[in-house]
Amino acid sequence: MGFLCLLYPWSQVCEWREPEELAALLDLELRENGEPQHQLLQRIRDVAKYSVKTNHPRFFNQLFAGVDYHALTGRFLTEALNTSQYTYEVAPVFVLMEGEVLSKLRSLVGWAEGDGIFCPGGTMSNMYAMNVARYRAFPEVKLKGMWSLPRLAVFTSQQSHYSVMKAAAFQGIGTENVFKVKVDDRGCMIPEDLGETIELAKSQGAVPFFVHATSGTTVQGAFDPLEPIADICDRQGLWMHVDAAWGGSVLFSKEHKHLMRGVERADSVTWNPHKMMLTGLQCSAILLKDTTHLLKHCHSADAKYLFQQDKFYDTSLDTGDKSIQCGRKVDCLKLWLMWKAVGSKGLEEQNISSPFYLTYVFCFCSVEQPLFVNVCFWFIPPSLRGKENSPDYNDRLSKVAPVIKERMMKQGTMMLGYQPQGGRVNFFRMIVISPQLSHQDMSFCLNEIERLGNDL
Amino acid sequence: MGFLCLLYPWSQVCEWREPEELAALLDLELRENGEPQHQLLQRIRDVAKYSVKTNHPRFFNQLFAGVDYHALTGRFLTEALNTSQYTYEVAPVFVLMEGEVLSKLRSLVGWAEGDGIFCPGGTMSNMYAMNVARYRAFPEVKLKGMWSLPRLAVFTSQQSHYSVMKAAAFQGIGTENVFKVKVDDRGCMIPEDLGETIELAKSQGAVPFFVHATSGTTVQGAFDPLEPIADICDRQGLWMHVDAAWGGSVLFSKEHKHLMRGVERADSVTWNPHKMMLTGLQCSAILLKDTTHLLKHCHSADAKYLFQQDKFYDTSLDTGDKSIQCGRKVDCLKLWLMWKAVGSKGLEEQNISSPFYLTYVFCFCSVEQPLFVNVCFWFIPPSLRGKENSPDYNDRLSKVAPVIKERMMKQGTMMLGYQPQGGRVNFFRMIVISPQLSHQDMSFCLNEIERLGNDL
C-alpha cells in the first residue's frame, strides 16, 4: 500500500503555496480522458506533499492532531468494507459494535442505560440534542412545525461553540433566541447569571427549554460548572445538554474527570473521540439518558423500503430511524479497535494523562495553569515590552500573532492558531493532544515564536 | 497492509448470524486492559468475515455497491491525511479540489457558475436545499426563527425519499406541511397535480416556497418531469430542488441524460456520487445555481477562532461557513482521483453505460423496460400461478418476498431488497450498479429466487 510513508514524520508541518500556484502544481482540472498510472501516482504524492501534516507533532492548530495506528487500521477497514450503518441486514457487525461503544461511553458519563448514535461531527450531535429536547417539550412540533409552539429560548455561555447558533438557525428557532450567559475570567459559565438570563427570557415572553453547557470550550478549554447548572435545570424543568465534544475524553481519567462533575445529571452529552482520543475524523457521539426511545420517535420516518416490519430478525436492531441521515458512515470501528488494543487503562494513559502532563510542564512557569490542554498566550515582541500603558499597545499587540502565523506557515515549521476573544486582542492558542509530542517539540514552539517575532 | 484481501470476491455475500451469536463471536466488550497483537488481528478478520460484502457482485440490496479501486485509494489517502475541510489553512489541497469537483458537477447540470458543498449524505444535502430556500424567501428566519414567518408549504411526490419528511421535521416546518403530489404508474410526479396541490395548500393558508422533485426515486427509479415542474416553479416563484442523489449520475451519459431534461432550470441539485459512481460512502454534493453567496449567508456563524479576517490569504477560500457542520470530512478526493484516472469518458462507460446495458439485457423479456437500473418484480411461486383472481392472492403474495429474503440471507448467496409500495404488495427491488457484475450473476439471481421460492 505504501501509504504509511505519508505518516512518517515530515520535516515540515506544511508546504505553503499560494492558491493559484498550488492549483497549477496539482493540475486539478478534470478532463474527458484519464491519465496513465505513473501520472496518477505523482498526483497522489503531490496531494500528500502539499497537504498539512496534521499527524506532525508540531501541529497544534486544531482540536484534533496526531495519529493512532489502531484507529487508522479501523478507518482503512471501514473504507474497504464500505457499508451504511442503518440496518442490521447490511451492517450486522457495526450495528452491534456501535451499541457496545455507545454503552461504554455512557457508562463513563455515569449512566447504566440510555440511548445514542454516532453523528457526522459535534455540530450535528449538538443539533440532535436541541431537536430531541424540543420534541420532548413539544411533541407536536414534528407534525405541525414551529407555528404550534410558543417562542422558545436556548441558553448557553458566551464562550460556547458556534454550533449552538448554527443549530438555532437551522432548526427554525432563530439565533436571537439563543441567550448568552456570562462567563468568569477562565471562561466558565456563571450559574447565577444563567438563572437571571432565564428570568430575562421569560420576561420577554419566550419559553426556556434547553440549556447548552460546555465541557471544554474551544478557545480557553473551560469547563462549565455542571452541578449548579443541573440544579437550575432541575428546578426549571429544562433539558440539560453538555457539549463535551472537546472535553469529554477527561471522563477516561480518574485524575481529571472531576472537571465534569455532575455530568450524569445531564439529559444529553456530545462527545467527539476524533478530538482527544485521536480516532481520526469523523467520530462524534450524541449520548442520551433517555430510555423511552425519544431519539427514534423524534427522527423516524418509517421508510418501508428500508425498515420493513416483516423482516425475519428483531427490527429494533435497525437503528436508521434514530438518525436524521439515511445512509450513515460507520464511525465506531476505529474507536472500538483502539479501545480493544490498549483497554480503558491504555487510553487513559496515552490519550489523557500524557497531554495533560505535557501541558503542565510547559506551563509550569506561567501565571496561571490552564485547566485543560488549551494553552493560550500572547507573545510580546521586544518593541512592546514595558509599553503596556501606551494607548496603541492593544492595537499593536493584535497585529503580532497574525504576522507570526504567516511566517510560521510560510516556513512550515509548526502550526498553531490565534484569535481575539471578548476584550482580549489576538492571542495564540496551542492545543496539546498528540502523544507523539515531546518536551523538545514544546520548547521548540516557544523558541520558534521568539525567532519569528523578535523583530516585531 | 493486506487489506485488499478483504475485497477479493468472497463466495458468499454475507455470513448470517443471529445477533446474540454474532455478539459472542466478535467478543465486542471493551475492557480495562488491551489485547495482544495476534488477538487483534483475529478481531479484524472477524469484523471482515461477518460484515456484508457490499463489494460482492451479487449485492443488489442498496443504492450503493461494488468497488472502484481508484476511489478506494483516495479514501485510504483521506484517512491517512486526516484533516478537516473548513479552512485553506488546514486543507489547502482539498479546498481547491472540492472547488474543482463541484464546478465540474455543476457544469454537467448545465451551470457555468454557482455554488455548492459536500455533505454527509443525501439527506443532509436535501436539508441544505430546504434551508437555503427558506432563507431566500424569508431571510429573517435565521435571526427570528419560524415565528416571524407564515405557515410554509413544501411539495414533493408520493414516491420521493423520506428525507423530505426528516428535513421538514428537523427544520421546524412540520411533516404535515409537506404536500404529497400524485405520481403516474411509473412513479413520476404528475405536474398537473403539482399545480393543483399548490392551490390546495394556498387555500389552507399555507405559503408555498419549495418544490422537491426527484431524479431517480428510491424504489422504482422514476424521474420526475423537470421541464413542466420548472414551468410551475417559475410561474409561482418557488425554489425548485432536484433530489438526484440516486439518478444524478446519468448526467455523465450522452445517451441517458435526457432523463433529467430541464435540470438546469432548478435552483439546487442533490447528487450522491457514492451511489452510482462507486466512490464509497460518503460522497454527496449539494449544488446551487445561486451566485450571491446564499449558502454562506444562510449558514455562517463567523467563528473568530477559525475564520479570522486578518489572515494573510484570501479568506473566501475558507469554506467552513457555508456548512452547517464545523469539522467536515474530506469527501472530494476519492471522486477526484477516479475521475482523473479514467476521465469523464471512462466514468460514462464503466459507471453508467455498463449497468444500464446489463439492466436492459436482464429485462429484455419483461413487459415493461425499467427507465433506470432499479429492477422491480414479483416472484410468483408455483402455488400462486394462475390464481390472480383468488381473494387471498395479494395477501399470500405479500409473504413470498420476506421468506425468500430470509433464505437468501441465511445461505448468503445474494442480497436484494423488497418492499410494498402504494397498492402493490411486497415486491423485489434489484439494484444494478457494480461494473464487476456479469450476465452470469444476473441470471444466477433469477435462478436463485426460483430455487429459494419454488416450494412456496
- Residues B107-163 have pLDDT tens digits of 999 999 999 999 999 999 999 999 999 999 999 999 999 998 999 999 999 999 999
* Pairwise pLDDT comparison (B371 vs B139), residue with the higher score: B139
Torsion of CA B366, B371, B374, B378, to 10 degrees: -30
A45 touching chain B per CB within 8 A: no
Q: Which chain B residue is nearest to residue A146, measuring alpha carbons?
A: B172
User: Which amino acid is it at B308?
Assistant: Q
Sign of the Cα pseudo-torsion (B282, B121, A433, A456, in order):
positive
Distance from CA of A360 to the nearest CA of B (A): 23
Give the pLDDT score at B264: 98
- Distance between CA atoms of residues A411 and A15, nearest Å: 8
- Distance between CA atoms of residues B213 and B221, nearest Å: 13
Give the pLDDT score at B10: 62
Give the position of cell 484570501.
B314
**Cα three-residue angle A124-A133-A287, rounded to 5 degrees:** 55
Segment (H or E) for B344: helix B333-347
B67 touching chain A per CB within 8 A: yes
CB A171 within 8 A of CB A179: no
Phi, psi of A165 (to 5 degrees): -65, -40
Distance from CA of A434 to the nearest CA of B (A): 13
- Distance between CA atoms of residues B123 and B163, nearest Å: 5
Model confidence at B94: pLDDT above 90: yes
Q: Which member of B64, B100, B166 has the closest CB to residue A301?
A: B166
List the single best residue of A27, A77, A81 to mutate versus B (max B Cβ within 10 A): A81
- Distance between CA atoms of residues A184 and A232, nearest Å: 18
Q: Do B343 and A32 touch (CB under 8 A)?
A: yes
Q: What is the mean pLDDT of residues B259-263?
A: 98
> B367: pLDDT confidence band, cut at 50, 70 and 90?
low
DSSP, res A352:
I
List the single best residue of B13, B30, B101 to mutate versus A (max A Cβ within 10 A): B30
- Distance between CA atoms of residues A448 and A446, nearest Å: 5
Cross-strand partners of B288: B115, B268
Q: Output B446-455 pairs: Cβ under 8 A, ≥24 positions apart.
A: B448/B408, B448/B413, B448/B414, B449/B379, B449/B404, B449/B408, B450/B379, B452/B404, B452/B407, B452/B408, B452/B411, B453/B379, B453/B381, B453/B400, B453/B403, B453/B404, B453/B407, B454/B381, B454/B382, B455/B381
> A363: pLDDT confidence band, cut at 50, 70 and 90?
confident
Q: Which member of A6, A35, A152 has the closest CB to residue B80?
A: A6
Model confidence at A261: pLDDT above 90: yes
- Distance between CA atoms of residues A286 and A268, nearest Å: 7
Give the pLDDT score at B302: 84
Q: Residues 402..431 of A with a Cβ closer than 8 Å to B: which?
A: 402, 405-406, 409, 415, 417-421, 426, 429
A64 touching chain B per CB within 8 A: yes
Q: What is the mean pLDDT of residues B269-278?
A: 97
Q: What is the mean pLDDT of residues B404-426?
A: 95
Q: What is the mean pLDDT of residues B215-241?
A: 98
* Pairwise pLDDT comparison (A1 vs A340), residue with the higher score: A340
Q: Do A80 and B93 touch (CB under 8 A)?
A: no
Burial of A51 (0-12, 13-18, 19+ CB in 10 A): buried
CB B323 within 8 A of CB B337: no
- Distant-in-sequence, close-in-space partners of A151: CB < 8 Å, separation ≥ 6: A177, A205, A206, A207, B145, B147
Model confidence at A9: pLDDT above 60: no
Q: What is the mean pLDDT of residues B414-430?
A: 95
Give the pLDDT score at A10: 62
Classify B248 as helix, strand or coil: helix
> B4: pLDDT confidence band, cut at 50, 70 and 90?
very low
Q: What is the mean pLDDT of residues A206-232?
A: 98
A83 touching chain B per CB within 8 A: yes
CB B200 within 8 A of CB B142: no
Number of Cβ within 10 Å of residue B425's Cβ equals 18
CB A317 within 8 A of CB B19: yes
Q: What is the mean pLDDT of residues A298-304?
A: 90
Q: What is the mean pLDDT of residues A407-426?
A: 95
Q: Which chain A residue is nearest to residue B15, measuring alpha carbons?
A: A92
Enumerate domains of chain A plus CATH numbers.
82-330 (3.40.640.10)
> B305: pLDDT confidence band, cut at 50, 70 and 90?
confident
Residues in B closer than 8 angstroms to A172, CB to CB, are 141, 145-146, 171-173
CB environment A90-124: b (16+ within 10 A), e (fewer):
bbbbbbbbbbbbbbbbbebbbbeebbbbbbbbbbb
CB B46 within 8 A of CB B6: no
Model confidence at B7: pLDDT above 80: no
Please provide the average confidence, as pLDDT, over all residues in chain A: 95
- ipTM for the predicted complex comes to 0.96
Classify A399 as helix, strand or coil: coil
List the single best residue of B54, B79, B286 to mutate versus A (max A Cβ within 10 A): B79
- Distance between CA atoms of residues A164 and A145, nearest Å: 20
Q: What is the mean pLDDT of residues A370-375?
A: 93
Q: Do A35 and B147 touch (CB under 8 A)?
A: no
Give the position of cell 472531576.
A258
Q: Which member of A142, A169, A419 has the closest CB to residue B304?
A: A419
Q: Which chain B residue is nearest to residue A31, measuring alpha carbons?
A: B343
> A100: pLDDT confidence band, cut at 50, 70 and 90?
very high
Distance from CA of A303 to the nearest CA of B (A): 6
* Pairwise pLDDT comparison (B10 vs A85), residue with the higher score: A85
Predicted structure pTM score: 0.96
List the single best residue of A52, A77, A144, A296 to mutate versus B (max B Cβ within 10 A): A52
Give the pLDDT score at B2: 45
- Distance between CA atoms of residues A140 and A367, nearest Å: 53
Residues in A closer than 8 angstroms to B38, CB to CB, are none
Q: Do A327 and B81 touch (CB under 8 A)?
A: no
Q: Do A329 and B122 touch (CB under 8 A)?
A: no
Q: Do B281 and A420 touch (CB under 8 A)?
A: no
- Distance between CA atoms of residues B296 and A405, nearest Å: 26
Q: Do B299 and A169 touch (CB under 8 A)?
A: yes
Q: Which member of A161, A343, A402 has the closest CB to residue B32?
A: A343
Nearest to B404 by CA among B335, B450, B361, B359: B450
- Distance between CA atoms of residues A63 and A434, nearest Å: 10
Q: Which chain A residue is nearest to residue B339, measuring alpha carbons?
A: A30
Give the pLDDT score at B287: 98
> A362: pLDDT confidence band, cut at 50, 70 and 90?
confident
> B436: pLDDT confidence band, cut at 50, 70 and 90?
confident
Q: Which chain A residue is nearest to residue B24, measuring alpha carbons?
A: A96
Q: Which member of A4, A80, A304 has the closest CB to residue B419?
A: A304
Distance from CA of B366 to the nearest CA of A (A): 23
Q: Do A81 and B177 touch (CB under 8 A)?
A: no
Q: Residues 110..149 of B with a Cβ closer than 8 Å to A: which?
A: 120-124, 127, 131, 141-148
Give the pLDDT score at B5: 46
List the single best residue of A93, A375, A424 to mutate versus B (max B Cβ within 10 A): A93
Percent composition of chain B: helix, strand, coil (DSSP 3-state, to 5): 45, 15, 40
Q: In what order do the strands lie in the sheet with A374-377?
A: A59-60, A415-421, A424-431, A374-377
CB A133 within 8 A of CB A210: yes
CB A306 within 8 A of CB B104: no
